[in-house]
Amino acid sequence: MYEFQYHRPNSLEDAAKLFDAAGDPQYLAGGQTLIPVMKQRLAMPSDLIDIGRIGDLHGITADKNALTIGAMTTHAQVASCDKVRESIPALASLANHIGDPAVRNRGTLGGSIANNDPAADYPAALVALGASVQTTSREIAAEAFFTGLFETALEEGEMIVKVTFPVTDCAGYEKFPNPASRYATVGVFVARTKERVRVAVTGAGLSVFRAGDIEAALETDFSPDALDGISISADGLNSDLHASAEYRANLIIVLARRAAAKANAA
């Protein structure tokens, strides 16, 4: 690992000041992706600003319309929080299947979505649930937040504060894990709100995306059977050692059907 300066501010203001003052800074959340990357010398920030202890970034609140989760909330906290399990159980279940228990004890919601790994789980939940991302300067709708491969709408120095998830009628997430890394080879999040059905796919493209054909079919009939006969084009889907684009296209339909079944059972 390369050398860097470490800072641990206690407030958002201090964090911003530190960020502005540093040469090539990076925020450090749970570090579950960043630290391995730095260990392999694939990243060399001049300064790491550890935002793990900023009180404003923690906590989960819920009312009958929405669930709000602080950016530094760990996956384990989301998975085990009664408020999450009651209002959006699919989200708690998703969090409970990220990485492994030790990773879930350190990894955070904010860290995960800021990194926007194409195979991360959370982006699918945010997009399907129509969440909004509150940053230090603005509110960004999930779909506008995830802009590309490891890219987000975050500006230099802008930090995620919390994410608000509108409470849905029902939702389900189904993931086909990479056998080695346990990231999503494909993950499909199906959610039905009062207005409409949204289906978001992770792992299959450069970034999370919505599956329009599947949404349309489920809009008509919110049941797994509604997806019979629907196919997804493999064009533009990821193809790698573990899964070809064609196989991923198949998985999207299979997992969407299973996620819909879960949503119906919820």
Partner 1 sequence: MPQLSLSVNARPVSADVEPRCLLSNLLREHLGLTGTHIGCDTSQCGACVVLVDGKAIKSCTMFAHQAEGCEVTTIEGLAGEGTLHPMQEAFRDHHALQCGFCTPGMIMASVALARDNPALDEAAVCKGLEGNLCRCTGYQNIIRAVLAGAKSMRGKHDV
Partner 2 sequence: MEKYGIGQPVRRKEDVRFLTGKGVYIDDISRPNLVHAVILRSPHAHAKILKIDSSEAQTMPGVLAIVTGQDWEREDFAPIPTRSAVKTKISGAPLNQPPRHCLAIERARYVGEPVALIVAESSAQAQDAAESIEVDYEELEPVTDQVKALEPGAPQIWDDIEGNICLDFELGDKQATDKAFAAADHVVSLELRNNRVTAVPIETRGAIAEYDAASDSYLLHNATQNVHANRATFADVLKISPDKLHHVAPDVGGGFGAKNSGYPEPPLLLYAAKKLGRPVKWIADRNESFQGDTHGRDQASKVELALDSEGKFLALRTSTIGNLGAYCFTMGPFTPTAGSARTQGGPYDIPAMFYSAIAAFTNTMPLDPYRGAGRPEASFQIERVVELAARELGIDPVELRARNLMRADTLPRKTPMGLDVDTGDFPQLFERTLKMSDREGYAKRVQESRARGLRRGFAIAPYLECSGGMPKEFAGVTFASDGTITLSVGSQSTGMGHETSLPQILGARLGVDMDKIAYVQGDTDATPLGGGHGGSRGLEMGGSAVMTAANDIIAKARHIAAHMLNSTPDDISFANGAFTDVKTDQNIAMEDVIAASFEQGRLPSDMEPGCLDTGVTYERELITCPNGCHAAEVEVDPETGSINVERYWVVDDFGTIINPLLAEGQVMGGIAQGLGQALMENIVYDEESGQLVTGSLMDYALPRADSMPNMQLAFFEDAPTAKNPLGVKGAGEAGCCGAPPAIVNAVLDALKGDGVTHIEMPLTPEKVWRAIAGGKLSP
The residues of the shown chain that bind partner 2, judged by CB under 8 A, are: 1, 40-41, 176, 178-181, 241-244, 246-247, 250-251, 254
Contact 139, 133 (CB under 8 A): yes
3-state helix, strand, coil in the chain (%, to 5): 35, 25, 40
Find which of partner 2, partner 1, none residue 164 binds, CB within 5 to 8 Å per kind.
none
Find which of partner 2, partner 1, none residue 251 binds, CB within 5 to 8 Å per kind.
partner 2
What x/- string results for residues 79 through 108 when contact with partner 1 is judged by CB under 8 A? --------------------xxxxx-xx--
Q: Looking at the DSSP assignment, which residues form a beta bridge with residue 50?
A: 28
* Of 41 and 64, CB closest to partner 1: 41
Asked if 43 is part of the footprint of partner 1 (rule: CB under 8 A), the reply reads: no
Residues with Cβ within 8 Å of 253's Cβ and at least 6 positions away in sequence, in order, are: 214, 227, 230, 231, 232
Structure token digits, residue 81: 């929080």
Asked if 5 is part of the footprint of partner 1 (rule: CB under 8 A), the reply reads: yes
Residue type, 82: D
Start-to-end C-alpha separation, the chain? 45
* Of 182 and 210, CB closest to partner 1: 182
Asked if 242 is part of the footprint of partner 1 (rule: CB under 8 A), the reply reads: no
Contact 161, 56 (CB under 8 A): yes
By the criterion CB under 8 A, which residues form the site for partner 1?
1-6, 8, 28, 31-32, 35-36, 38-40, 48, 50, 52, 76, 99-103, 105-106, 180-182
